[in-house]
Structure 1
Amino acid sequence: MKAPVFEEFDPASDCDCPGCLHWRSAARSSPSSLTISLGGHPAAHGARRALVLAAAAGTVIGGAHTVPAVASDHGPVRPGLPSSDEPPTPQGGSGPLHGPAGSPGSPPKHVTGLPATTRAAIVKRAKVWLAAKVPYSMVKFWSDGYRQDCSGFVSMAWNLGSNEWTGSLNKYGTRVTREQLQPGDMLLFHNPSNPQKGSHVVLFGGWTDYTHTYYVAYEQTPPRARKQSTPYAYWSNSSHYVPYRYKGLKQEEKAAVGGSASTAFPGAKSFGAGAGNANVTRLGKLLVDRGGGRFYTTGPGPRWGEADRLATQAFQRAQGWTGANADGLPGSTTWAYLVGGKGKDIPPVAGTASRPGSAASKVPPYPGRGMFRPGASNAYVTQLGRQLVKKGFGKNYTKGPGPRWGETDRRGVEAFQRSQGWRGGAADGYPGPETWRRLFS
């Protein structure tokens, strides 16, 4: 068994987590303040308090002595789980690249337009920091001159030539829809009322499967740069994250994705009996993303089928359309709603996924990814847990299952997913439409 990772905690260090920043500030303003209920390094608060008391009493602590190693909440997180409800990512502001040994560098020379780059180059630069295990810091700069926080990471990957922050990165990008996301784009959340409360930015590395509920995120977050399967748009504040595409992408890449052709209705002939093309696949993926995953036992794929018609009809009815406007064949309005992310999603209980009496019709409707995430509490979590027990994947439960989503539920789902032969992001312990269908089949 691999030994757990510990870090030594030194109160006099330059650790940049919110807790340590607060304690250093508190120590300067009021050395006698010993409140220990704030964030930072919870396991080290006892050691911290002892050191503050010693300092207040005039005790000299020798430089050669260190505090015994304690578990730090900067330590590695379990893959697939958020390190906290809010990403602990305070950040620096806009500024130039830094020169050798962390000294301020000269502002970049004026260049007309943005530096041109490609998606492959963006991801490659991100992976350089991952390979180097660049530690998180809002005040330190890596050897390439970029600040070692979340916004500095994206500034580096986009090769901006300056250190930006979440309040300025948007001017280097163009907003895109969720459906248009491609590797190298960013997902940005800037909280203008309190930029250090939740504000964060990550690089999009691609969807983990056809349901488009999880994606690979490249990000700079304590303790270091990482790559992780992440629920769309993020673990917390999900509705506030906005997708952007770098304006300096080479022209041929812009034309390949996200252009006007990618949003235009391909025509009625692309859909219906006998149709087989990439537009059918795209339609199916858009429908799955809007709650239509329960209609598909396989796919979506390029061959038009009854699953496509039923899912399209369910989406149309969700908008309140009837008659010929809800015939299951996508027209220009249906297409515009799907591509633009407009209208209402397909309700979990709407429609019938298959012929009455068939095996698929006995599968309860998939309730959506939002039912299974940290902090969720609902009847679907209980239903899922009971099915895991029934299928022989409930060994992790010491009580329950119950309505509150927890690590026990996630580990049970992960075990089931691995039993299907899935690995990586497809076996992260969070049930998508295909996991749900197989579990209840």
Structure 2
Amino acid sequence: MNSSGSPRAVRFASAVMVLVTLVAGLLTFGTRNEASAASTVGGVITRAEIIARAKYWYDRGDTWYSQNQADAISDGTGGKYRPDCSGLVAMAWHLPKKSDGWDLNTGDFESYSHKSWLPSLHDLLPGDALLKNGHIELFEKWVDPKNHSAGAWVYSENDYGQKTNHNTNSWSEMTTYRGIRYDKVIEKSLDGGDFDGNGVGDIYATGTGTLTIWNGKGSNNFGTADPVGGGWEGFTRPAAGDFNKDGKTDLAAVKNGTLYVWNGKGGNKFGAADAVGSGWEPFTAPVAGDFNNDGISDLSAVKEGTLYIWNGKGNNHFTPADTIGGGWEPFTAPIAGDFDNDGKTDLAAVKDGTLHIWNGKGGNKFGAVDALGGGWGDYQATLMSLGDVDKDGHSDLGAINKTSGTLYLWNGKGGNKFGPADALGGGWLPHF
């Protein structure tokens, strides 16, 4: 690749990924069947949380269809919703009740002021909905992100005698619907940088002393390099998150032991550096994620083999460090993403060439370590969580081969699984 030009995706598979092997755990266990509680009723909500809420109803196994509001079922976070098609979408979007105490019906969705009609079904993203006269379904993902004619996965409540469904619709079935989008969805690309706010993960780097951004376009494609600004010499690799809770991606990095935050303005632009606090010298470069699942980006870092988390307050400030646990000495500095697609931030790191994942449970807690397989030794120094770069609703990984300088992507499939390596071209090492 010409590092100042547009990366061109070269399609070939790699045998890097192997079968998932469960191994002994560390850190703290949590409950897996909880619905995500980051949003409030009628408030902003991420796409990952919308899908996690729908999945909660499906996983319950007792959400029998009913058009009676008296049969409302718990959403797992303190609310109850009617278990019909419109009640499912209202639950997943975390919508308030109408003035009469009932959830929205399909006719209400037609005129709902907090939704917009999509120009095309091809614009559907995870957490949007498919609406037609008398019926509505929640869009989860495309069967094949590169070929929408293969149909889509949806969550739905269809008829009496049935529970919440999770199945596929053919393209011909989908063409009988129109796509709608909730206007309080936070258009962020899971964990990772989305500096232009298009819902697709971006690549960013400061290795040359200049912050450079390649905006994601979907399908593992990226725009031309945007040299945003210089002066980054001496800083750790920046962490991308929303530290002031305005819905735009910010950056955080450490220099001479002081943590700085640059608040994003959208369009690859940032405000002036905010010196947040000192004392960061002995820690690894911080990474950002929502580890307590409150909808605000937190920071995590390792010091002398112990993992610490600082929970964000939403104003570029953080709580005191929470000591999570030891045993991190042999691992690379962790990265953050939602690798099991449950709406909670996970951690990943490499040890002895093997990629390991700790699935987040919320509340700064994590499940047992999951060893995914070897072959990562040539990539571990630049391993990064990119967010969702193929627009399928899953967190993806990227890394640069330390010998060839080629950038590779591994598209997430959920459940801690990834697709084969996709090589995007060479010339990346100077940036990292």
Is the structural similarity TM-score above 0.5? no
Structure label with greater radius of gyration: 1
Q: Please identify which structure carries the higher helix content.
A: 1
Q: Using structure 2 for the length normalisation, give the TM-score.
A: 0.30
Q: Please identify which structure carries the higher strand content.
A: 2
Which is bigger in relative contact order (C-alpha 8 A, separation at least 6)?
2
